[in-house]
Structure 1
Amino acid sequence: MRWHITAVQAGADAPELVAQVRELRARILFDHGRRPGFRSADGAHVDDQVLDYGAWHFIARREPGGPPLGYIRLSTPDNGHLFQSRAYLGSDKYEELIAERGFLLSETFEHSRLVVEHRARKLGLGVHLNAIAISAAHSLGAKAMIGTSGTKDGQDKFHERFGFVGIPETRRYVEHYAEDVIIMFYRAEDGAGQYTDLVRRLRDEFPALAESGAHTASATFAKPVKPAGLDQAAQSEKDCWRPVLFRSGDGEALSDLLASGVVREVHDTIDTQLEELIRSREPAVRFDEDLLTAKKLEQLNGAEPWAYGTWAFYPWSGRLVHVLPCEEFRLVRTDRNRGKIERPDQRRLLGNRIGVIGLSVGNSAAVTFALEGIGGAYKLADFDEFSLSNLNRLRAGVHHLGVNKAVISARQMFEIDPYLDIEIFTDGLTDANMAEFFSGGNGPIDLLVEECDTPYVKIAAREQARTLGIPVVMDCNDRGMLDIERFDLERDRPVLHGLIGDVKASQLQDLTRQEKVDLILAMVDADKISPQLKASFGELGKTLSSWPQLASGVALGGALTAEAARRILLGDACESGRFYTDFAELIAPDRNTAGAA
């Protein structure tokens, strides 16, 4: 968000400017009658203070010449005898307070009258104005700052985030402000709290601003701040994968995010989402505009639309997206599943935690599961980074090159449903994290999708799943082969249906290349694989860098594993075994049910 900032030190020859800022302040402070002291009997907004002359006035607009959206005042020691804080405390108490803290009156500045129009408050303008006043004080030689702060709307807490400290014995009710007011004190040497970098940057720009009287300030020139809960947003773009969620009551943190400059796009369709919610609950009702509006107001229950639901910030793309609250979001998102998956079964599916090992072929499964609502929680394991040759089958873009595959999958899933519970294991599945993957972390998994290439991991994972009674599904990406092992029902079942004999994972640590090829051929049952795949094994390391895979087969694998997982988790018929959905057979001429044209 860009702001056009005007900075003027008002002398006695600037009555028109002073009149304008007084009217602006009083109107905002009046706040529709909340503070009646800022309106006169004749209806005019009044905030006359002699302190305005000689003070610095900072006025923010969206563009030059536009209507003022915010304001703050900075008073220098030259007018120290007129400071609001001196009048509030009394001269003796004021001078005593400054001296007790080791400062001189001549090096103490006062900031006051921070006001922002309601429509600009959630956009971070208050943060920028406060930072500008503090930076200007620094530039002008301030060693300390003082000011009065209201407490009803948390203005004192807002100032604390800049390093101001409230003086407890100074808090008292002030009728003119219709709330308790407290004195806040600030030491310049201590920085500016979480906005230290922002204030430092603005301090360097203040001389040019003071000289020209106007400056276009943008959130983008400020180094991103790190409010509480934004640690993930501060990670490098390559590594971050979890969105940051802002719910009701997080307005200040959301404002901080918007002020930080890391948001590249704001996407708000909450009104349309509310309409979908209302229609999905009562599909038989034909809503006219008046009824729909009434229903939306009823749903909001007094909340402002912008404050309803959740704002999800995706740090890897810089998008800030507004969505319905979790339960309502999922009700609408899966509404078109009904008729095939009814609400009770949707809730049962969401209650499961799914483990996925290998996020190339497994990416299709994980994303399909997220789309269909199979599982509300996931554990994703892959050590590999996305490479150019993966672009033939993994749904990602060139900007993902070099990013871990589990990270890519988690991002894609969170962009479908920001309320998911996802854990990732970027070292892949190892002996060191095996127990955490299956049973630790945020909870044990209920089903495993195994799609990795390493024979040791394939067997070790199945041994662990069998011990714990966890069903395993796998797609082979050849002839539509779906493998199902119901270890939840058959604790003594041999892994991979006994196709590799009684081989244990501990025996597979140091296989030669040919031994790995022979073992994989046994796992997939060499007699049943396609002729193309069978021929490719002899060419590995010669004319082929790896075995062939196609996007169509990977997409089919996502569908097959999702179908099996849904049946298993809902208790429908789904037994252990191997099943083929071979397009070479299914689309053969003799299978044509429409006949010749």
Structure 2
Amino acid sequence: MDSPWIFTAFRAPADPDAAPEALQEIRRLRARVLFDQGRRPAFASRGGDHPGARPDAQPDSQPDAQPQDHGAWHFAARRGRDGLHGPPLGYVRLLTPATASLYQSREFLGATRYDEVLHTEGLTPGSVFEHSRLVVEHRARKLGLGLHLNALAVAAAHELGAAAMIGTSGTADGQDRFHGRFGFHPVAGTRRYVEKYTEDVVILLHRCAEGAGEHTALVDDYRLLFRYDLMEQGCPAGAVGTAGAAAAVEAAGPGRGRSFTVPHRGPVWRDAPPRRLTAIGPADPHRWKPVLFEPARHDDRVAMGSLLDTGAVREVADTIEAQLEELIRARDPGRVLDADELDAARRDQLDGARPWDYGAWAWYPWSGRLVHVLPREEFRLVRTDRNRGKIDRPEQRRLLDKRIGVIGLSVGNSAALTLAQEGVAGAFKLADFDTLSVSNLNRLRAGLHQIGVNKAVIAARQMFEIDPYLDIEIFPAGLTEDTVKEFFLGGHGPIDLLVEECDTPWVKLAAREAARDLGVPVVMDANDRGLLDIERFDREPHRPLLHGLLGTLTPDDCLDLTFDQRVDLILAMVDADRISPALAASIPKIGRTLSSWPQLASGVALGGALVTEAARRILLGGPCASGRFYVDLEELIADGRNQAAVSLPSAP
């Protein structure tokens, strides 16, 4: 059951005498939370709000009345069931460069040291915003409210054009580590004990161009909402909320803006991009999920209208009539329909809905396209209709319940796209730390406009353009010691099969160790002689890694290798005695006359097909044993292999 929040936001006037009542309420909340049942006596309320109150206190006294409040953005959250007049349970503040002289971080460091920090970081005072005073009542912390308030403040700074954010953070309860998940890092030499907070405090810095760490997608959700619901109104107070959150907008009163309810589990707008959507490529590396609108829902229809008003939509592709026709014919392929019968069947399918409102619209921010598509189940029925006879519908449904992990999205790009096209899984995890370069275009399906974009991002975009209903997670830092567990078990669920296409020895072994421990089968295309490698750890839990070719070698043994050692190790993995003559002749030239391993698009495309065939068999329980299998095109298309030899007449 959802417990929705109501978020309110306003920008306080710079004049202290014009401060709204909402600010007084927020100050009382801050004092109460910061007091923390006596841990910080300096925040003891003098207004009787908690056990630390003085008996002679004045009811309107404000122990946390800071000058930084005036001219700042203020974001507060209430429980939806309490309504707009319920008590705020969480709060965060954002200061803009207009009041930079008041920044807490400047006060903490002193003006000279503060300026030195900005200079060292290559920042100008006019581009740095300050994030501060994130407080959440204890009963709301376990519901994740702090995460979403923080994301909202970071999103607002990004949307308002900040180059960086700065702020002070406590360390006793891991606040600094919490902010680190949003891409904030401590500034060296700034940590020191502060009596008022009874703990060490450190300065944190965040660069907006680098995203928001592991919460980049969540921050992007709130960027869109902040821009649409606040900035569009051109006023100091506005609404912060999500699609699906409120059918009606309620006036919150002077200084409190407008509000929407938000489910505590996070925005309904999953991975929605910000409104600043015209940039693509390197300037837009984090936009990799489409936004789905269902116009039959009031809030989605309003949000889609707002999107169309922005001018960010470059192309509207509405082929719903043709898709409905395909759906009708796919359900009854033996039925012959004339034009009138087809129209009647379409009307019956729409069941009174307008064609525009039927199904969903997928917004692809990286291309500027808004695409109309059938509802999920109907779309997938049509999209995989031509699979029938080779993959029948019960098998299709079984496959769509599977989750596949792909590590290495150069060679792995072909595998990931083919798996998605064939419907061999409905969910994917993609990991690659590398970005696209010009030399990758000899084998990777991408374009020049994507140079510099992370390869996992590219693959996710391409797969979503095939099926906007896919469930995809990306790991743009690749597979590391910190992300192995999350990749195999975390996120939206554990993987059922691993496709490993990375050329880093540590990753190859660490991934296989994890796969063996968890009983996950591993498939690899070696991109030479059509070598398909299969390890059925789901059936053989004690099987040696890579068929025992590396003996007792461990991932730790693969750290800090020289280039030559790495080459030797990879050759051992693929069995140097069985590589193609062309690759064998190239090895001594790598790093001398060749820049890297030779690879061709034809071999990569073949690898995608081989991996997909093996994955489908494994996931459906078909015949597919551990081992190494060669589909060598040079041998298959060789003299003496022709199966249609015809004697031609001699020339006259």
TM-score range, shorter chain: 0.5 to 0.7
Q: What corresponds to 1:321 in structure 2? A: 371
Q: How far apart, in 1, do the equivalents of 2:601 and 2:543 lie?
A: 32
- Whether 1:352 aligns to 2:402 is yes
Structure 2 unmatched ranges of 5 or more: 1-226, 238-243, 261-266, 277-282
For the pair 1:295 / 2:345, whether they are aligned, the reply is: yes
Report the Cα distance in structure 2 between the residues aligned to 1:536 and 1:307, rounded to whole angstroms: 57
Q: Is 2:295 the partner of 1:254?
A: no
Matched with 1:559 is 609
Correspondence for 2:290: 243
Aligned to 2:30: none
* Identical amino acids, percent of aligned pairs: 64
Q: Superposition pairs for residues 429-508 of structure 1, below 5 Å?
A: 429-508=479-558
Partner secondary structure for residue 443 of structure 1 = coil
Q: Is the 8 A contact 2:271 2:289 kept in 1?
A: no
Distance in 2, Cα, partners of 1:245 & 1:495: 42
Q: For 1:425 and 1:227, how far apart are their aligned partners in 2?
A: 22
CA distance in 1, matches of 2:628, 2:258: 64
Give the counterpart letter for 1:165 in structure 2. Answer: A
* Separation in structure 2 between the aligned mates of residue 482 and residue 227 of structure 1, nearest angstrom: 41
1:403, distance to aligned residue in structure 2 (A): 0.2
- For structure 1, list consecutive stretches of 5 or more residues without a partner in the other structure: 1-126, 145-153, 167-184, 195-225
CA–CA separation in structure 2 for the residues paired with 1:470 and 1:157: 45
Aligned length in residues:
398
Q: Compute the displacement of 1:227 (Å).
A: 11
Q: TM (normalized to structure 2)?
A: 0.58
Q: Over the residues paired in the alignment, what is the CA RMSD in angstroms? A: 2.6
Aligned to 2:273: 232
For residues 146-176 of structure 1, give each alpha carbon's deviation from its aligned partner in whole angstroms, at most 9, with x where no partner exists.
xxxxxxxx9x966x4xxx728xxxxxxxxxx
- Aligned residue among 302, 310, 332 for 1:282: 332
Question: Greater Rg, structure 1 or structure 2?
Answer: 1
Counterpart in 2 of 1:413?
463
Q: How does 1:329-340 map to 2 (within 5 A)?
A: 329-340=379-390
- Report the 3-state secondary structure (helix = DSSP H, G, I; strand = E; otherwise coil) of the residue aligned with 1:380: strand
Amino acid at match of 2:393: R
Change (3 A) 1:367 1:418: same
1:358 and 1:262 map into 2 onto residues whose CA distance is 32
Following superposition, the deviation at residue 237 of structure 1 comes to 2.5
Return the letter of the residue paired with 2:302: E
TM-superposed deviation, 1:234: 4.2
User: Which aligned runs of 4 or more in structure 1 are off by greater than 3 angstroms?
Assistant: 189-194, 226-231, 233-236
Q: How much has 1:231 moved relative to structure 2? A: 3.7
User: Contact (CA 8 Å) 1:227, 1:256: kept in 2 or not?
Assistant: no
- The 3 A distance-change label for structure 1 pair 232 and 284 is same
Residue 232 of structure 1 aligns with an amino acid whose one-letter code is: P
Q: Paired residue for 2:598, among 548, 562, 565?
A: 548
Displacement of 1:192 after TM fit?
8.8
1:165 matched to 2:251? The reply is: yes
In the TM superposition, residue 193 of structure 1 has moved relative to its aligned partner by: 8.7
2: CA distance, partners of 1:534 / 1:263: 50
1:22-61 C-alpha deviation (Å, 9 max, x unpaired): xxxxxxxxxxxxxxxxxxxxxxxxxxxxxxxxxxxxxxxx
Work out whether residues 505 and 570 of structure 2, in 8 Å CA contact, stay in contact via their aligned partners in 1: yes
Given that 2:320 and 2:374 are in contact with CA atoms closer than 8 Å, whether structure 1 keeps it comes out as: yes
Matches within 5 A, 1:188-267: 231-234=272-275, 237-247=284-294, 248-249=296-297, 250-267=300-317
Give the whole-Å Cα distance in 2 for the aligned partners of 1:487 and 1:230: 34
- Between the aligned partners of 1:274 and 1:410, the Cα distance in structure 2 is 27
CA–CA distance in structure 1, aligned partners of residues 456 and 270 of structure 2: 22
TM (normalized to structure 1)?
0.63
Q: Residue 386 of structure 1 contacts residue 402 of structure 1 at CA under 8 Å; is this kept in 2?
A: yes
Q: Which residue of 1 aligns with 2:155?
A: none
State whether residues 228 and 253 of structure 1, in contact with CA within 8 Å, keep that contact through their aligned partners in structure 2: no
> Aligned to 1:591, what secondary structure does the other structure show?
coil
The equivalent residue for 2:444 is 394
Q: What secondary structure, in the 3-state scheme, does the structure 2 residue paired with 1:538 have?
A: helix
Which residue identity lines up with residue 285 of structure 2 in the other structure? K
Contact 2:412 2:608 in 1 (8 A): yes
Distance 1:355 1:413 in 2: 14
1:372 aligned residue (422, 426, 439): 422
**Deviation at 1:190?**
7.9
**What letter matches 2:620 in structure 1?**
L
- Deviation, structure 1 residue 291: 1.3
Give me the whole-angstrom Cα distance separating, in 1, the residues matched to 2:612 and 2:270: 34
Deviates more, 1:259-268 or 1:273-282: 259-268
- What displacement does 1:500 show? 1.1
Quote the Cα distance in structure 2 between the aligned partners of 1:316 and 1:512. Answer: 38
1:330, 1:287 → 2: CA distance?
Answer: 23
